[in-house]
Structure 1
Amino acid sequence: MQSSTKIGIERLPLIWILRIEDFGADVQWSRQDLSTGSFCVTMNVKLLKYHAYSRWFGRPSWNASYLFGRACRRLKPGDIVIDAGANLGEITSALAKTGSTVHAFEPDPYTFERLRKNVGAFKNVHLYQQALADQSGTAKLYRSREFSSDPDFWSQSSSLYADKSNISKDDYTEVEQLSIVDFVRELGSPVRILKIDVEGAEVPMLESILSCGLMNKIDMIFAETHEKKIPQLAERTRALREAIKRDWANKINLDWH
């Protein structure tokens, strides 16, 4: 059985008071407590330690996962979310269960059929056999060298970049691309979460989003970067991180994994 304790609010560091919700704590007070300016916080000590460690001392991807989970818990029916690089639908399914309207993009023909089988029953999920990208058109989608040995697993490595270190330049399929800027503008409603896991194409997508002033239509972006496997994107990724740290640190997280 997990233990809990009561801590006087005056004994808590200021950052804990301001972000107490982040730790999953139950904040309880009475009218009398408020009138005296003091109240107690009942919290699960183990939960507090876990979140404090994950948030400030863990890997960046741990914090990104935590923030993504928190954003998902705040979704409600009717909210719009986008899953760019939906793959087999694990994240799409989790988003759909919140009741929000999910737009899921997966360009690979094989993977798209697996995605449709996994999440097609959700009435609030819209599936697109397209690559959400910085511009509309067609492109080559390159598959992993190991794709034929285990398509379900290696489908997550497919990329629009022929220079990605773990793909085969000889194994590709022509796919449709759809401009992220055009798509979001045509939705006509704010996007609560945009998750991007597109094996390199996140860089031009994010550059396009920022240059077109699209962040006023998107609440949160969670993206994974791939400069280690696509060295040609290293400098552009570094520049993106600097711009995001300066202007959009509370809205864009590049440590999704």
Structure 2
Amino acid sequence: MIKPIRFLLKHPLNRRSKIKALSRFVRWQLASRLIGRPIALPFVEGTSLLTETGMTGATGNWYCGLHEQDEMGFVLHALRPEDLFVDVGANIGSYTVLAAGGVGARVIAFEPHPGTFDKLEANIAFNRLMPRVTAHCCGLSNEPGELAFSADADTMNHVMQASETGPSITVPVRSLDEALNGEVPVVLKVDVEGHEIPVIQGAKGTLSNSRLKAVLMETNGSGERYGFSDDDIIEHMAGFGFEACSYDAIVRSLTKHQPGSDNTIFVRDPDEMQKRCSAARTYMLINGTI
């Protein structure tokens, strides 16, 4: 338990309420063991996430307001209710609920693991977001087909290499361009545990369209298992006209990307996006506002 406690105590959104953050941690540890079934934890703007033990991202949102405060804050500030957000690697739906329930945007979500997809659908239904969210149980790659996915790694489930062992499932995959069928999001999130380059290769039409303003993507070195580096991702995105940036959601500042970050926000026009984020309304969290 030491690691999550350190995380929540150091989290920027808990800087003024560390005791309350510790209280939320203790309450979850007790309730999750006593109740033994999914618990609806309050999230952004009156939404909730149905959470079970082992869901590190969802419990991080409960402990800290926003588990990934800068990336999640960017989604809140960059989107408007009339926009489309595409969530690739949606998991149980933290970003989907954030965009559809928090902002009121329309969302298309993709999650390949059937068990996790059931939890995504449960969160969509619990928050009554069905009119605004379309969810697909499939993976994304450079071409349609099937791929083997790990089956027991929670948010770290990924496309398995032939040399990997362990529990796995075979899931259908599509290209993003084919799956969107001409629709273009304002913001795209890609969280595929290292499989980013094949997803990019299957999204050339989407990434080339000027209506797409920003892409959130992991740059934590996980692509090395497939022979891709973070620099490869940055180079590919630059070819579509995107600049690698970082965002400080607390002060709403968009700056040049700093190497070493686990995530990168690729922005087509940083000046325009800075104005858009600065003008966004304030959102209610469980531990304050952003």
Tell me if TM exceeds 0.5. yes
Structure 1: 5+ residue runs without aligned partners?
A: 1-63, 148-153
Q: By how many angstroms is 1:213 displaced?
A: 5.7
AA at the equivalent of 2:147:
A
Cα distance in 1 for residues equivalent to 2:84 and 2:223? 31
Q: By how many angstroms is 1:255 displaced?
A: 4.4
For the 8 Å contact 1:139–1:174, the answer to whether it is kept is: yes
> Which is greater in Rg?
1
Where does residue 92 of structure 2 map in the other structure?
88
Where does residue 158 of structure 1 map in the other structure?
157
- 1:230 equivalent to 2:224? Answer yes
For the 8 Å contact 1:159–1:198, the answer to whether it is kept is: yes
- 1:78 equivalent to 2:82? Answer yes
Cα distance in 2 for residues equivalent to 1:191 and 1:251? 19
Matches within 5 A, 1:132-143: 132-143=140-151
Q: By how many angstroms is 1:243 displaced?
A: 4.5
Where does residue 122 of structure 1 map in the other structure?
129
Q: By how many angstroms is 1:119 displaced?
A: 1.7
Where does residue 199 of structure 1 map in the other structure?
193
Where does residue 256 of structure 1 map in the other structure?
263
* Cα deviation code 1:86-115 (max 9, x no counterpart): 101111111112111111111101111111
Q: By how many angstroms is 1:122 displaced?
A: 0.8
* Cα deviation code 1:188-227 (max 9, x no counterpart): xx31110010112212112443588634342110011353
Q: How many aligned residue pairs are there?
A: 180
Cα distance in 1 for residues equivalent to 2:223 and 2:142? 20
Against the structure 1 CA distance between its residues 212 and 110, is the aligned structure 2 distance closer, same or farther, given a 3 Å change threshold?
closer
Cα distance in 2 for residues equivalent to 1:88 and 1:106? 8
Where does residue 50 of structure 1 map in the other structure?
none
* TM-score, with length taken from structure 1: 0.59
Cα distance in 2 for residues equivalent to 1:211 and 1:113? 30
Match of 1:127, SS state, is strand
AA at the equivalent of 2:148:
K
Match of 1:126, SS state, is strand
AA at the equivalent of 1:209:
A
For the 8 Å contact 2:194–2:221, the answer to whether it is kept is: yes
AA at the equivalent of 2:137:
Q
Cα distance in 1 for residues equivalent to 2:179 and 2:211? 11
Against the structure 1 CA distance between its residues 227 and 118, is the aligned structure 2 distance closer, same or farther, given a 3 Å change threshold?
same
Q: By how many angstroms is 1:245 displaced?
A: 5.1
* TM-score, with length taken from structure 2: 0.53
For the 8 Å contact 2:175–2:202, the answer to whether it is kept is: no
AA at the equivalent of 1:160:
V
Match of 2:213, SS state, is strand
Where does residue 106 of structure 1 map in the other structure?
111
Q: 2:139 aligns with which of 122, 131, 143?
A: 131
Match of 1:114, SS state, is helix
Against the structure 1 CA distance between its residues 101 and 194, is the aligned structure 2 distance closer, same or farther, given a 3 Å change threshold?
same
Q: By how many angstroms is 1:133 displaced?
A: 2.3
- Greater Cα shift, 204-213 or 216-225: 204-213
Where does residue 184 of structure 1 map in the other structure?
180
Q: By how many angstroms is 1:171 displaced?
A: 1.3
Q: By how many angstroms is 1:228 displaced?
A: 4.3
